[in-house]
Structure 1
């Protein structure tokens, strides 16, 4: 019986630790920037605020708790250490055929920056994140 008093809390702590590891990664800020000569799109999520800016205007929106959780889930599916090495599927930005786009994700004191890619045609690993941010903002691709 006295072993049960020792084993039960240990098992409980192990279960809680495993459950905590399955929660989506948090983030401090996510920034999406796309620009070329004369054009700019910037979408930033920080806390529960979304700030967006484009040539058509700028604004701020509140992001719901559910949307933040979904965004955390999308970020947790990414291998952040590797986003700088992802290859863009097209190269239209080189001839100004598309905006130069990139993601900057800040978590604690670490910054993860993607390679540049054509806006609207990111590496497949980043497509879900780009689509999600455009859906949150009032900016049309």
Structure 2
């Protein structure tokens, strides 16, 4: 009896899982949905392109020591702040106003990106654990510019305004 019930339920379950053949209405709905999502994606992309002050620019500021970690990322008109080195993919996201975006963009434009790696740090406290080690990386139009390391809180004069502006967002958090 159990065997007959098991066979019957198995046949019933496999029949009910098969798709129905009348799919003309669902095909039209699917095409309409795809068209709408494509249109929305195109609108979103064009709006994002218009709002970006510098297309393809990403600024990463990272400071770390044995007991301290802070990573601040400026990308896509927003700031991401990560304070836990074990969860770098997650962080607090702050949307920026047009004034903040414009200010950060102007600070980036004022930096000689080719000379970023040769900047001299004003202090060497990070060498003996007197300060956290910090670094600035700027990616612009697919090219990555890495800065020379410096002490957290004591950046080189050429990038001091940008670093101070980025760090100020983590203090507001």
Structure 1 residue 42 corresponds to structure 2 residue 75:
no
Q: Which has the higher contact order (CA 8 A, sep 6+)?
A: 1
Whole-angstrom distance in 1 between the partners of 2:131 and 2:106: 28
Deviation at 1:109, TM superposition (A): 1.1
TM-score of the two chains, using structure 2 as the length reference:
0.62
Q: Is the 8 A contact 1:25 1:76 kept in 2?
A: no
Q: 1:28–1:135: structure 2 CA closer, same or farther, 3 Å change rule?
A: same
The structure that is helix-richer by fraction is 2
Residue 137 of structure 1 aligns to a residue whose secondary structure is helix
Deviation at 1:26, TM superposition (A): 5.2
1:66 aligned residue (96, 99, 102):
99
Q: Between Structure 1 and Structure 2, how many residues are aligned?
A: 116
The answer for the alignment partner of 2:116 in structure 1 is: 83
Whole-angstrom distance in 1 between the partners of 2:66 and 2:113: 29
Deviation at 1:136, TM superposition (A): 2.6
The answer for the alignment partner of 1:54 in structure 2 is: 83
2:60 aligned residue (14, 18, 31):
31
Deviation at 1:58, TM superposition (A): 4.2
Whole-angstrom distance in 1 between the partners of 2:152 and 2:98: 27
TM-score of the two chains, using structure 1 as the length reference:
0.75
Q: How does 1:82-121 map to 2 (within 5 A)?
A: 82-121=115-154
Give the alignment's Cα RMSD to 1 decimal.
2.0
The answer for the alignment partner of 1:20 in structure 2 is: none
Deviation at 1:53, TM superposition (A): 1.6
The structure that is strand-richer by fraction is 1
**Deviation per residue, 1:35-61 (Å, 9 max, x gap):** 011210110011122110225x94111
The answer for the alignment partner of 2:7 in structure 1 is: none
